[in-house]
Amino acid sequence: MVTKDGNMIEYLVSLILGLIFGILIERSKKENRRERELVSKGMTLSLFFLIFFLGLDIGRKLNLQEMAQIGQISILFALMTMVFSYAFSKILIRVAR
């Protein structure tokens, strides 16, 4: 979550603009396979760049001394919250369906 602070609205606006743009393309053309391939390639490329710069950011913030001190409890917190979030969501989705 390195980029969250104050950017939520920008992401939302970006998503809505993309949605409108996509709908306009779909309505103007009968076949949109080429556009979908282009978008898919763009998404893969931006994913690679994003992961790299995210790693760079994580590496810069990594404090090994702090990690060693509270590492085990932190791993426990991270894994337990993930496991129970997954389990609860799985049950709720089944109920909602």
Partner 1 sequence: MFVAIILLILLAGIFLGFQTKDFTFSFSGEIIHWILILFVLLIGIDLGLMESKMERIRQSWKFGSVIAIGTVFGSMFAGLLIHFSMNIPLILAISVAAGMGWYSLTGPFLAKTFGAFAGALGFTSNFLREVFTFILYPKLRDKTAGISIGGATTMDTTLPLIARLSGSENALIAFIHGFFISILIPVLLTLLSASA
**Which residues ranging from 61 to 80 are in contact with partner 1 (CB under 8 A)?**
61-62, 66-67, 69-71, 73-80
Q: Who's near 32: CB < 8 A, 6+ residues apart?
A: 25, 26
Angle at 7 between CA 38 and CA 50, to 5 degrees: 40
User: From the CB of 7, what's the least distance to partner 1, in Å?
Assistant: 6
**Using the rule CB under 8 A, is 5 a contact of partner 1?**
yes
Indicate the length of the chain as a whole number.
97
| Residue 30 lies near partner 1 (rule: CB under 8 A) | no
State yes or no: residue 37 binds partner 1 (CB under 8 A).
Answer: no
